[in-house]
Structure 1
């Protein structure tokens, strides 16, 4: 996984696909995007704009993906994302049509994601999103870029 600030990527050794997402974020006002999926480069790169209420971790689920990188970019407000390694989790199944690996397990770390930051989750990175920061639910808006690998 990669956790970084959007304005701190100039000297980072990021893949061209991740750099393309960073450029897209820097050149577009994501606040103006409505909810749903928005194509950028066909099924190779698209963004899902989400808006939801954060909640307690026990109300959320763990996930990972085999065919796409997830790049999480908060737009409004903060959310906690819990993280673990897929190898530490008990995998329950894989839905190919949704590229969704379901699992159970314990978190290894948590990040509080704020606007101006991004998180890249690779196939080996289990993540649980939409967790309320300090137990205080709030409605957030975020972008999740899906990058075909």
Structure 2
């Protein structure tokens, strides 16, 4: 898992593979203002969701990880905490679904980062992540989740 701001990651984008560099540039150069919530296609290797929700207590959120796509969580509005755990430390709740490209887990939140507008969290296949956790209070969040095929 990588946590930083989009601007910082762009300053060091040569440290990342071509696909992530392309994803960072896409996030930088796209105006998401007014785009409807839901799925949007970029090309055969990238698509994204505009997600809008209110944060919740961790007990009401869920762990997930992916095998086919990297997740780049780019916060547009609001603040949420994103839990992190290596998948080996979690217990499988629902086996991998190729249709959803997701496996779901249970487990305690031992590590989490607060992500605010401009922050970017990159989740790799080995990164169990739990999104939508309230930071200091319930809050509306609007973000882009860019999916990059690996």
Q: Secondary structure at the match of 2:7?
A: coil
Name the counterpart of 1:54: 55
Q: Secondary structure at the match of 2:33?
A: helix
- 1:31 offset after TM fit, Å? 2.4
- 1:25 offset after TM fit, Å? 1.4
Decide which of 129, 132, 135 is 2:134's aligned counterpart.
Answer: 132
CA distance in 2, matches of 1:112, 1:83: 11
Q: Detail structure 1 runs of 4+ shifted over 4 Å in the superposition.
A: none
Structure 2: 5+ residue runs without aligned partners? none
* Deviation larger for 64-73 or 22-31: 22-31
- 1:85 offset after TM fit, Å? 0.5
Find out whether 1:4 has 2:17 as its counterpart: no
* Residues 58, 109 of structure 2: 8 Å contact kept: no
TM-score by length of 2: 0.93
- 1:81 offset after TM fit, Å? 0.5
Aligned residues: 147
* Deviation larger for 91-100 or 81-90: 91-100
CA distance in 1, matches of 2:34, 2:19: 23
* Residues 37, 50 of structure 2: 8 Å contact kept: yes
- 1:22 offset after TM fit, Å? 1.1
TM-score by length of 1: 0.94
Name the counterpart of 1:18: 20
